[in-house]
Amino acid sequence: MAPIRLRHPKGVSTIQVDLDSFTVQDLQQEIFAVSEIPPSLQDLKAGYPPQTLTVIPELPLESLGLKPGDQLIVNSKPGAAPQTAPAPAPARAPSAPSSGNATLGRSSVPRIPPSSGTVSSGPDYVETDNGTLVHRVVPDDNSCLFSSIALVFHQNIGKAQEMRKIIADAIRADIITYSEAILGRPRDDYIATILKPASWGGAIELAIFARYFSTEIASIDVETGRIDQFTPPPEADSGNRCILIYSGIHYDAASLAPTPDAPTEFHQTVFPIISNGDDDPILKAGKDLAAILRAKRAYTNTATFDLKCQQCGQGLKGEKEACAHAMQTGHTQFGEY
């Protein structure tokens, strides 16, 4: 382990990092632990005069060129602030939708809160024949996936850490499905990491949650409108679906309410599956909700930003190409154009 001196808004700290085995994301988690600045909001600088570092979480820590005793400066990105969540409703066990929900209306109308004269601070929503599908924003604290799942199935984002334990237990119990090859790292390392409050979740976790809750999880990508459907095995399928909204680096949930400002205890978060197309009113409303956010450019594209390898000069596009280039060449120094 090597000491790195960290200047942050709360003062000065020394963090210990493994320069050989850490990824950049591991460093970000250590910084988050002392500064309380989520990785997605961290603006990192090093050197003299301080220069902003190009941060690609998947790359090895050596991509930042740090040495023992170096100093890092971290601040929140200009204009960035963590998203705030509506107050969670009291926890309750998920229940099957009433039979009346199967007749949800088939039309939905995107509705952006009016901006004439004033700016609304409320969530975006889409009206359907049977209620309003509301964008349920959860905190931007790297537990967003787990908070969204806790909101959907327990009506309580405070259960996010319990959702992490579901993932850890599932991986621990199935060495065949969740092998080191599938996880991309040693199993014990993956389990330990996913239990950390600052670790992100993704497709592996969504597939596990779909099986655990016997419910399809439809994750709608804001930028592209693509829907990734994670389904439980047929023998455990309840015939229900929930909706998550994915911005590229953040997950939120969506729920159906009688009116846009209805108390959260009146929201429905699990819906009967009618189809996989636009004649399913909730799926259609989810796509329309993503379109509203897309029009506001409320997404982050980590796949298309331009990078340059500082060791050979090759131009690269996005995180995926940078990772592939690093594996092929051993080059780990990248900068944005």
CATH number for the domain that contains residue 55: 3.10.20.90
The verdict on 129 and 184 lying in the same domain is yes
Report pLDDT for 127: 94
Q: Is the pLDDT score of 101 beyond 70?
A: no
Q: Say if CB 265 and CB 155 are below 8 A apart.
A: yes
The verdict on 196 and 288 lying in the same domain is yes
Active site residue 325: no
Q: What is the pLDDT of residues 28-74, one digit of tens each?
A: 888 988 888 888 788 899 887 788 888 888 788 888 888 888 899 99
Q: What is the mean pLDDT of the chain?
A: 82
Where does the pLDDT of residue 301 fall: very low under 50, low under 70, confident under 90, or very high at 90 and above?
Answer: low
The verdict on 127 and 220 lying in the same domain is yes
The verdict on 328 and 285 lying in the same domain is no
CA distances from 25 to 53, 145, 220 (A): 13, 17, 24
User: Which of 124, 135, 140, 144 is the catalytic position?
Assistant: 144
Q: Could you tell me which residues come within 8 angstroms of residue 201 by beta carbon, excluding any fewer than 6 positions away? A: 145, 146, 164, 167, 194
Q: What is the pLDDT of residues 175-206, one digit of tens each?
A: 999 998 888 889 999 999 999 987 888 999 99
**What amino acid occupies position 316?**
L
Is residue 88 a part of any domain in this protein? Answer: no
DSSP string, 223-288: TT--EEEE---GGG--SEEEEEEE-SS-EEEEEEESSTT--GGG-B--EE---SSTTSHHHHHHHH
Active site residue 331: yes
More confident site: 75 or 310: 75
Is residue 62 a part of any domain in this protein? Answer: yes
Domain that includes residue 68, residue range: 1-79
Is residue 255 a part of any domain in this protein? Answer: yes
Report pLDDT for 20: 86
User: Which of 250, 252, 267, 280 is the catalytic position?
Assistant: 250
Using CA atoms, how far apart are residues 319 and 303, in angstroms rounded to an integer?
6
Active site residue 252: no
Is residue 72 a part of any domain in this protein? Answer: yes
**HSE value, Cβ hemisphere, 13 Å, CA-based, for 13:** 15
Using CA atoms, how far apart are residues 252 and 268, in angstroms rounded to an integer?
15
Where does the pLDDT of residue 116 fall: very low under 50, low under 70, confident under 90, or very high at 90 and above?
Answer: very low
Active site residue 144: yes
CA distances from 187 to 142, 190, 200, 232 (A): 21, 5, 16, 23
Is residue 248 a part of any domain in this protein? Answer: yes
The verdict on 169 and 285 lying in the same domain is yes
The verdict on 1 and 147 lying in the same domain is no
Which of 79, 112, 127 terminates a domain? The answer is: 79
The verdict on 144 and 243 lying in the same domain is yes
Using DSSP's 3-state secondary structure scheme, residue 81 falls into coil
Q: Could you tell me which residues come within 8 angstroms of residue 234 by beta carbon, excluding any fewer than 6 positions away? A: none
Q: Say if CB 281 and CB 166 are below 8 A apart.
A: no
The verdict on 61 and 118 lying in the same domain is no
Kindly state the helix (H) or strand (E) to which residue 324 belongs, with its residue range: helix 318-329
Q: What's the mean pLDDT in 160-175? A: 97
Q: What's the mean pLDDT in 143-166? A: 96
The verdict on 171 and 282 lying in the same domain is yes
Give the rounded distance of the alpha carbon of 26 from its chain centre. Answer: 16
**What amino acid occupies position 199?**
S
The verdict on 258 and 130 lying in the same domain is yes
Q: Could you tell me which residues come within 8 angstroms of residue 144 by beta carbon, excluding any fewer than 6 positions away? A: 138, 250, 251, 252
Is residue 318 a part of any domain in this protein? Answer: yes
Which of 46, 79, 112 terminates a domain? The answer is: 79
Is residue 290 a part of any domain in this protein? Answer: yes
DSSP conformational letter for 330: -
The verdict on 53 and 148 lying in the same domain is no
User: Which of 124, 141, 252, 280 is the catalytic position?
Assistant: 141
Q: What is the pLDDT of residues 227-258, one digit of tens each?
A: 999 999 999 999 999 999 998 878 999 999 99
Q: Is the pLDDT score of 310 beyond 80?
A: no
Is residue 89 a part of any domain in this protein? Answer: no
User: E strands within 125-250?
Assistant: 125-128, 131-136, 216-221, 227-230, 240-246
Query: What's the number of domains the chain is made of?
Result: 3
